[in-house]
Amino acid sequence: MAWLDAHILTIILMCPVVGLGIVMLIHNGKDLLIKQVAAVSSGLSLVLSLRVWALFDASTAELQMVERVAWLPSAGINYIVGVDGLSLAMVLLTGIVFFTGVLTMWELTNRVKEYFAFTMALVAGVFGVFISQDLFFFFLFYELAVLPMYLLIAIWGSTRREFAAMKLTLFLLAGSALLFPALIGLAHYSGLNTFDMTLLAEADTDWGGMGLILFGFIYVGFGVLAGIFPFHTWSPIGHVAAPTAVSMLHAGVLMKLGAYGVLRIGMIILPEAMGSWAPVIAVLALCNILYGAFVALGQTDLKYMIGYSSVSHMGVVMLGLATMTHAGISGAIFQMFAHGIMTALFFSCVGHIYDRTHTREISRLGGLFHTMPRASTLFIIAGMAGIGVPCLASFWAEFLVFVAAVKTWPIIGILAICGLVASALFVLRVIQKTFFGPPLEAWKDLPDISNGMLPARLILAGTLLVFGIIPGLMLTNLDESVRALVAVLAG
């Protein structure tokens, strides 16, 4: 047990990697076995992320469960993994979405082996990003997480999948084009010749003008993945084209990688530059919130609606970060977590509805509550979380962000709250049109979510409720790390 606890982060990382290796060795066609391997590997990583949560000591802002191996000292590369309050929630989020994503795709029949192989490569990348404390490995895992998306969408997707997959990949990798010089630049211009993020953050480097440029690159490079306005256009069409579980992973965790990158690398290593950039970030975040909400209002396709609502909600995350206050940053991280769970639930319900009705047109659906009470209830829970109804996790997240925003930038904050009203409007409209009203003849005999497929959705809905009712679970863990970060940002 002691050995396990000492290496727990690496072991979590190895879960999908080993799963991938085993799946590659299994003969094509043994679909059930492949799914079982995927379920075990994802289940194990979820259990281990819960263990990390339990082991975490909330009374310090230090990195915990650190492993440090000299990798290529001549190039300043070390293998360093560790979690602090900022990444703890993300690890758990990945574990939950990975596990529920695998369960959601249990009924997949088309090219099962490749699907799970690519998914596990993607998840290995996501875990890797959230635990890496070295820029080389951070970037390695980041790119590893992005690329499988292309094949996952292009092969298993629907509406305009090839176009969407290519657009998504090129957008994200164009972001990487900025990250390459920026991340290597951090090591070079700090004069330390190391990619160790802790050392870079602690060093008393005078970045000067270079800091502003590097931060800009990091903000835009990672921001593309976080869906910041105006680089968000890949995101809704990507969501729409992707198969259910890929949408879950994509909106649930991948977009968080972007915001996390800005937070972990941009804000922590270049706090002065963050101070200068904060107004820009806040204004763009406001654009996200308003633009996403109003465009979502006009959507007729369920997945587009959720896609644009994600753009809006990621704006909330960026706005929280831009306030540079304790409440704002805590809220932003809470929102990353809550939004990840919420959209995963959204997409898994929409996936179920689409698989049965073969349409996502809101106008063609109606009265589904009568035929699919389970799917409808779960969708409504996710919708309520999206609006920020109390007792659900997002409430606390959005509440904290908006309080901080109104304090820091009153006008932006108030406008952002207006966006929230718009989002309430579109969610309620969709719920009303899709699930209530008279039952439609065409959808009368459709099956609801089966008992076997229910647990995945229940886990997601349960998580939203638990963190909504006891927000302290999240906030105590964040407290010290955010306090330390705010102190750094304040100079």
Partner 1 sequence: MDWGLASLFLPELALLGTALGLFVVTTTVGGGESADLRRAGAMADRVAFFGAVFAALLALVPAEGQLFFESYAVGGFSQSVKLLLCLGLAGSAWLSRGAARGQVSVRDRPEFHLFLTLATFGMAMLTSATELVGFYVGLELSAYCLYLLVAMTRREGDHAEAALKYFIQGATLSAVALFGMSILYGLSGTTSIAGIGAAVTAEPTTLALAAVLLSLVGVLFKLAVFPFHFWAPDVYEVANDGAASFIAAASKVGAIAALLRLLTLGLGHDGLFWILGGLAVASMTYGNLAALVQKDLKRLLAYSGVAQAGYLLMGLMGRDEAAWSAAIYYGAAYLGLLLLCFIVVVEVGRGREDARLPISAVNGLYKKSPMLAMVLLVGLLGLAGVPPTAGFTGKWLLFKAALDGGAFWLILVAGINNTIAIYYYLIVLKAAYVDDVEDPTPLQTSPLGPKLGVAISLAIVLFGVFPQWVMPRLLDAVAAIL
Applying CB under 8 A, the residues found at the interface with partner 1 are 28, 71-72, 74-75, 77, 111, 114, 136, 139-141, 143-144, 147, 150-151, 154-155, 162, 166, 169-170, 173-174, 176-181, 184-185, 187-188
- What is the nearest approach in angstroms of partner 1 to the Cβ of residue 108? 16
- What is the nearest approach in angstroms of partner 1 to the Cβ of residue 181? 5
- What is the nearest approach in angstroms of partner 1 to the Cβ of residue 287? 24
Nearer to partner 1, 231 or 467 (CB): 231
- What is the nearest approach in angstroms of partner 1 to the Cβ of residue 318? 23
Nearer to partner 1, 148 or 266 (CB): 148
Mention every residue, 6+ apart, whose C-beta is less than 8 A from residue 394. 335, 338, 339, 342, 385, 386, 388, 464, 468
Nearer to partner 1, 177 or 470 (CB): 177
Nearer to partner 1, 12 or 88 (CB): 12
- What is the nearest approach in angstroms of partner 1 to the Cβ of residue 148? 10
Nearer to partner 1, 156 or 395 (CB): 156
Nearer to partner 1, 118 or 334 (CB): 118
- What is the nearest approach in angstroms of partner 1 to the Cβ of residue 113? 8
- What is the nearest approach in angstroms of partner 1 to the Cβ of residue 249? 18
